[in-house]
Structure 1
Amino acid sequence: MKTAGPVLSVLLVILGIWYAATVFMNAPQVRDAARRGNVELTLGQTIAATMSEKRPMLAAPHQVAAELWKGIVSEKITSKRSLVYHALITLQATMTGFGLGVVIGVLLAVGIVYFRVIDLSVMPWAIISQTIPIVALAPMIVVLSNSLGLGDRLGVENRLVSKTLIAAYLSFFPVLVSMVKGLRSPDPMQLDLLRTYSASGAQEFLKLRLPSSLPFFFASLKVSIAAALVGAIVGELPTGAVEGLGARMLVASQFGQPLLMWASLFAATLLAGVLIVALGVVQRLADRMMGARA
């Protein structure tokens, strides 16, 4: 309740700026249409017309909300016009790529912490890999995975493999960096204490390093899953996909349907929010299992 007021205040400010921008950006085409029809519009009529354009330069918030409601609630989930249907397609690639990225990130982090040669050789390349624009890299991944026939070998669609690889590429790095920090976070005195008890390397990892890394791990997961969702959406663009939120945005852009494009964008935002909330629930359950106070 303490944060509700500030959050609502910021939301109202954003809506106010959005509506003002809607009027500013849509007014020229409204005036042009009225001029072609030899119609004189008052200021009030112009403002009202900017809020109901079928193909606006900038959709008004209530228009986006109506299109979002139509795509989520009004349409059947099995319909290809349903945003829920397309969100589930994107979610499949997101979760597959996210899982793969987490595994890669954790394994590399363990190797970096325990083996200096991996730290010196792999970590710089992992950092450099994130400087490559994903928009430029995505088509290369698509072409490479198709030429190698990875989808046929794994018994899945090539498009899913491409989207999974792109999502994994974006999601592994936050996990890698955070896990390296977390695994190295135990105090030297704590490590010395375990050694005085003749603890093995596995016991040191399981009893000290791994529990110490969990806060870093779950913090990175929230960033990683959002990055995986972005990767899955971007991966749908160069593959010629017709299903998925990214495909809906592309189709809406090509066929001049800005309302659908905005609704798909907000559907992706809602999906990201749901995934982050779900990770928060998992984190609380893990904390309880580890004996943390609620």
Structure 2
Amino acid sequence: MRSILPILTVLLAIVGIWYLAAIWMNATWVRDQAARDGREVAFSELVVETLGQERPVLPAPHQVAKGLYDGLFGQKVTSKRSLVYHAWVTLSATLLGFAFGSAAGILLAVGIVYNRAMDLSVMPWAIASQTIPILAIAPMIIVVLNSLGVTGIVPKAIISAYLSFFPVVVGMVKGLRSPDAMQLDLLRTWNASDVQSFAKLRLPASMPYLFASLKVGVAASLVGTIVGELPTGAVAGLGSRLLSGSYYGQTVQIWAALFAAAILAASLVALIGWAERLTLKRMGLAR
């Protein structure tokens, strides 16, 4: 109970601030409508009307909760209005891109650790690649791939992999270099080869770093997928729900899609956390 109480306190504070912000931001429309009708608006009436608008500037928490519930449970999962359907479309591209990005990140990290030339050449370019805004290059990647006949899930997966590989590279390099010189010297005295030192020392030592970077990478991968859906005018995926909501001024739909994406990201991170605990426990690195 003591651990839950601070979390509930912060949550209630956020909800309270959110309600106050919704009243403040939606009050202008209510006052304008009242002025056109030539009437005065009491404070109680102002609160009720600002929290019940069909297309508010800032939806109230209960409106977002209702929109999220209707999108998740109020539709058939095959319906184009179902958030489950759109989340699955986004999840498919996210997992593919995450697999691409993680595999590329691990391979690059191994090469950087064991090859001095790659360390001096690849690592700076990997860092520089993350300075380019993803919103700028996403349309370029999609246009180029479409001209080559590559459509569907693959372009979104490539954008997703672009964002997810960098945390894996950095974390894996840090992990592979975490064994100290004494441990490495001990393996050399036992005449261990590079492959043996990698399998017996460097790889086990890198596991905590790898899983930490995978948690960051999978969240970045989801962001990359949603960004990849925006410039294509996608008709499916959480990005498409954001687009259609912005086109028609459906702010509740936009916020519901954002919360669905947040829930999806949290679920993926939790899944990796479960795999981390299981793996480290089997390796004897955790209880």
Query: Does structure 2 conserve the Cα–Cα contact (< 8 Å) formed by 1:159 and 1:241?
Result: no
Candidates 265, 269, 276, aligned match of 2:258: 265
Look up the match of 2:227: 234
Residue 289 of structure 1: CA displacement?
1.8
User: Whole-Å Cα distance in 2 between the matches of residues 240 and 159 of structure 1?
Assistant: 12
Deviation at 1:122, TM superposition (A): 0.6
Q: Which secondary structure state, in structure 1, belongs to the residue aligned with residue 57 of structure 2?
A: coil
Structure 1 runs of 4+ aligned residues shifted over 6 Å read none
Deviates more, 1:31-40 or 1:168-177: 31-40
- Local SS of the residue matching 1:199: coil
1:3, distance to aligned residue in structure 2 (A) = 2.6
Structure 1 position 136, deviation (Å):
0.4
Query: 1:219-230, aligned counterparts within 5 Å?
Result: 219-230=212-223
Secondary structure at the counterpart of residue 239 of structure 1: coil
Are 1:63 and 2:63 matched, yes or no?
yes
Q: 2:233 touches 2:243 (CA, 8 Å); kept in 1? A: no
TM-score (norm 2): 0.98
Contact 1:159 1:239 in 2 (8 A): no
User: Could you tell me how far apart the structure 1 residues matched to 2:23 and 2:162 are?
Assistant: 40
Distance 1:122 1:235 in 2: 25
Q: Tell me the amino acid that sits aligned with residue 207 of structure 1.
A: K
Name the amino acid aligned to 2:132.
Answer: I
Structure 1 residues 284-293 or 21-30, which shifts more?
284-293
Instruction: Say how many residue pairs are matched.
Output: 287
Counterparts of residues 44-59 of structure 1 (less than 5 Å): 44-59=44-59
Q: Which moved more, 1:283-292 or 1:217-226?
A: 283-292
The offset of 1:256, in angstroms, is 1.1
The answer as to 2:12 corresponding to 1:9 is no
Residue identity opposite 2:185 in structure 1: D
Question: Is 1:159 aligned with 2:126?
Answer: no
Percent identity between matched residues is 59
Question: How far apart, CA to CA, are the structure 2 residues paired with 1:10 and 1:133?
Answer: 33
Helix, strand or coil: the match of 1:46? helix
Which region of structure 1 is more displaced relative to structure 2, 2-11 or 81-90? 2-11
Q: Which runs of 5+ in 2 are unaligned?
A: none
1:218 equivalent to 2:218? Answer: no
SS at match of 1:77: coil
Q: Deviations over 1:175-231 (max 9, x none)?
A: 000100100000110011111111111110000000000000000011000000000
Paired with 2:164 and 2:281, the residues of 1 have a C-alpha distance of 26
| Partners of 1:192 and 1:130 in 2: CA distance | 36
TM-score (norm 1): 0.96
Q: Deviations over 1:64-115 (max 9, x none)?
A: 0000000001111111110010000000000000000000000000000000
The answer as to 2:128 corresponding to 1:135 is no
Deviation track 1:22-63 (CA, whole Å, cap 9, x = no partner) reads 011000101111222233221110011100000101000000
Aligned: 1:189 with 2:182? yes
Q: How far off is 1:2 after superposition?
A: 3.6
Q: CA deviation at 1:159?
A: 3.2
